[in-house]
Amino acid sequence: MKSLGSVTAGDHILDLKWNPEGTRLLVTPTTGPVLLADDAATLLQEIPGHGMGNGSSDWFAGSPATCGFDGKIRCGSREWKPGRGMIEHVRTSPDGTLLAAGQGKALHIFDASGSDEKSLCDLPAVVSDFAWNRKSPTEIATAGAGGALLWRLGEKEPFARFDWGGASLQVRWSSDGRWLATADQTASVHVYDIPRDNPLNMEGFESKVRALAFSADGKRLATAGSPVVTVWPCASAKGPDGARPIQVDGSENEVLALDFSPATGQLATGDGEGTLLVVTFEKGQFRRKRARLGTGISALAWHPTKPVLAVGHTSGLVTWLSMGA
Amino acid sequence: MSRIPVTILTGFLGAGKTTLLNRILGENHGLRIAVIENEFGEIGIDHELVINAEEELFEMNNGCICCTVRGDLIRILGNLMKRRDKFDHILIETTGLADPGPVVQTFFVDEELREQTFVNGVVTVVDAHHFSRHVGETHEAEEQVAFADVVLLNKCDLATAEELAETEQRIRAINALAVIHRTTRAEIEIKKILEVGGFNLDRATELNPHFLDAHGHHHHHHSDISSVGIEAEGECDGKKLNDWISKLVRDQGQDIFRMKGIFAVKAQADRVVFQGVHMLIDAASGGPWAGRPRKNSLVFIGRKLDREALTSGFRSCLT
């Protein structure tokens, strides 16, 4: 692995997001300006931050979209303050036409003209996280107290409920549209086989699951919180149901960040001590490369087409690493 | 890493929480205080250090109130703890109708928050003129007092001397442990709000040496929420004490809002400090006795407490 360059933000890196073309990287620290850099790690722009804290960012209509504790969304020259209360995430729909932002019990959904008529309001619970369905861009899942709800834009009621009474902190939807996974306050992961309406509950994690990611083909789900990363198989008819997961050890501390490469299928993990693992899966086995990168790793983002990994640290440093062939 | 103190500010609608909050944010006390505000009132506080968030209750165990925590706080505080420039203090303003239980429980239940923060105190603002009416209308007003370490008996200028005396007596009957300050327009030295030092039995006995006295309170009391204080010489058997408290919170935890104890445990040189909220309990070394008399003190604040049963139960733990 070879360093291609780096930039430094003012605080703990919360989120890294490549644009769809892979020419720009959006670097979101916990506080302070959001940085825009190119694929050669050249800093291009500093975008004003969101007061007491930034939320995760995304790309919308060709511009960086940011949000935060000030309750504002900024996208290019536009700024929206849709209601009172913090905004923790903005996420663009898979077809790039809509931008969603959770705020209290509302999921604001903007189109490129700024219209928010597709928003979901007065939801049963505060939206702690949400995820778009990559297979069907008008479907979105919200997570929060009670579990997860699946919505079709334009409809007032959810078309599916995974309401198991728990407390979901994060939600991810597999790219094939089949699986929905939530990480929960109770050190558990819930996975839903949507077509079969079959909920699976995975418990017994050492600690709260802090990171959750599906592989780009939807065949694997990685979960982490402790130093051991668990990778669940999702390719078979029954998916993780009754299957033995792969346990990836080698981290020295709690794993804080996970990301699967869309280009190579490799999994990158980063822990609180700065240990980076790059895991390659082969026929039910895996091999890993390990590197110590100094301070804790808090965010990871693979380039959409190249074997290049952006690594964000708790110190504010972001490094571009080439993983070679 | 030193843990960051958290103050929970609660109080019924219109009691003066926002006035107090504005005072804290406006005063030159030299502290960097982050404020998390759940109260979406008409007059919001527009301040760079204020985060507005909607209250989000997470029921972690089939709706058991003792296992209900606040998801919004977990995520906001988790984010604040990542910052390079940490705050000196965090203040959480709950809604006027909030049950303080889940807020306090969040700091017991979430491992990361336990490591990085601690509840320095629960401050409840009470409207001196309207408290009796509030108590009659909802159970939240009483529960907010029951959870308090400090009560600000506010709007004293609007109440008669008799009303003040009666309200103070009523508060004392619910919560024998809380420090009560009479205020007008929430005018109070900020350190009396921010330097509470937790649910502190030592402080309480210094302020009121008789507060643990079982016969010390004969207030006319309409509520089923009250305090029970127990004090006993001698040493506890650690196992018996553990078994008794475990059974007690299992059977009656829903009705016990807060509990605090300092124990002299056999074969342990240091004080054992204990605190709990509903079914969640925590015990730790309280340091050496340092010349103080080696005795046991225990306080319960809750609903339908049976003083005799609690006292005899505790006494059965003595060696």
pLDDT tens figures, B69-79? 899 999 999 99
| CATH label of the domain that carries residue B76 | 3.40.50.300
Q: How large is the average pLDDT for residues A29-39?
A: 97
Note whether B188 and B254 are same-domain residues. no
Note whether B75 and B147 are same-domain residues. yes
Note whether B190 and B260 are same-domain residues. no
In a domain, B104, yes or no: yes
Note whether B43 and B123 are same-domain residues. yes
- Report how far residue A197's alpha carbon sits from residue A200's, in angstroms, rounded to the nearest whole number: 10
Q: How confident is the model at residue B201, as a pLDDT?
A: 58
Among B180, B198, B216, identify where a domain stops.
Answer: B198
CB distance A188 to A205 below 8 Å: yes
Cross-strand bridge partners of residue A255: A271
Q: How confident is the model at residue A25, as a pLDDT?
A: 98
- What distance in Å separates residue A31's CA from the closest CA in chain B? 7
In a domain, B213, yes or no: no
Q: Which two tokens stand for residue A317?
A: 């440093």
CB distance A241 to A254 below 8 Å: no
Interface test with A, best of B50, B54, B80, B112 (most A CBs within 10 A): B54
The phi, psi pair for B243, rounded to 5°, reads -65, -40
Q: Is A90 exposed, middle or buried (0-12, 13-18, 19+ CB in 10 A)?
A: buried
For A9-28, the pLDDT digits (tens) are 999 999 999 999 999 999 99
For B34-62, the pLDDT digits (tens) are 999 986 655 566 678 889 999 888 887 66
Q: What kind of fold does domain A1-13+208-325 have according to CATH?
A: Methylamine Dehydrogenase; Chain H (2.130.10)
User: Does the pLDDT of residue B316 top 90, yes or no?
Assistant: yes
Three-state secondary structure call for residue B115: helix
Q: How confident is the model at residue B49, as a pLDDT?
A: 87
For B96-108, the pLDDT digits (tens) are 888 888 999 999 8
Q: Which residues of B touch A11 (CB under 8 A)?
A: 82-84
Note whether B194 and B245 are same-domain residues. no
State how many domains chain B has.
2
- What distance in Å separates residue B135's CA from the closest CA in chain A? 28
Q: How confident is the model at residue B214, as a pLDDT?
A: 47
In a domain, B208, yes or no: no
Q: How confident is the model at residue B215, as a pLDDT?
A: 46
Q: How confident is the model at residue B211, as a pLDDT?
A: 55
Nearest Cα neighbor of B180 from B155, B152, B143 is B152
- What distance in Å separates residue A21's CA from the closest CA in chain B? 30
Interface test with A, best of B43, B83, B107, B111 (most A CBs within 10 A): B83
In a domain, B147, yes or no: yes
- The proportion of chain B whose per-residue pLDDT surpasses 70, expressed as a percent, equals 88
**Contact assignment for A185 to B69 by CB distance below 8 Å:** yes
Q: Domain containing B58: what range?
A: 4-198
Residue A312's pLDDT band (boundaries 50, 70, 90)? very high
Q: Which residues of B touch A298 (CB under 8 A)?
A: 82
User: Does the pLDDT of residue A252 top 60, yes or no?
Assistant: yes
Cross-strand bridge partners of residue A109: A100
Quote the ipTM score: 0.90
Three-state secondary structure call for residue B220: coil
In a domain, B53, yes or no: yes
- What distance in Å separates residue A85's CA from the closest CA in chain B? 4
Give the type of residue at B73. Answer: L
CB distance A140 to A154 below 8 Å: no
In a domain, B46, yes or no: yes
Q: Which residues of B touch A105 (CB under 8 A)?
A: 54
Q: How confident is the model at residue A292, as a pLDDT?
A: 95
Helix, strand, coil in percent for chain B, rounding step 5: 35, 30, 40
Q: Which residues of A touch B111 (CB under 8 A)?
A: 207-208
Note whether B108 and B46 are same-domain residues. yes
- pLDDT, averaged across chain A: 94
CB count within 10 Å of CB B34 equals 23
Note whether B143 and B256 are same-domain residues. no
DSSP state of A280: E
In a domain, B217, yes or no: no
Residue B2's pLDDT band (boundaries 50, 70, 90)? confident
Domain boundaries of chain A, sorted by first residue = 1-13+208-325
User: Does the pLDDT of residue B216 top 50, yes or no?
Assistant: no
Q: How confident is the model at residue A263, as a pLDDT?
A: 94
- Report how far residue B95's alpha carbon sits from residue B305's, in angstroms, rounded to the nearest whole number: 27
Cross-strand bridge partners of residue A292: A275
CB distance B7 to B90 below 8 Å: yes
Contacts of A48 (CB under 8 A, 6+ apart): A33, A34, A74
Closest residue of A to B51, CA-based?
A69
CB distance A13 to A29 below 8 Å: yes
Q: How confident is the model at residue A160, as a pLDDT?
A: 94
Note whether B141 and B274 are same-domain residues. no
Residue B109's pLDDT band (boundaries 50, 70, 90)? confident
Cross-strand bridge partners of residue A65: A58, A75
User: Does the pLDDT of residue B222 top 70, yes or no?
Assistant: no
Cross-strand bridge partners of residue A120: A107
User: Lowest-confidence range among A85-94, A105-114, B213-222, B248-257?
Assistant: B213-222
Higher-pLDDT residue of A314 and A1 is A314
Note whether B50 and B176 are same-domain residues. yes
DSSP state of B125: E
Q: Which residues of A touch B54 (CB under 8 A)?
A: 85, 104-105, 126
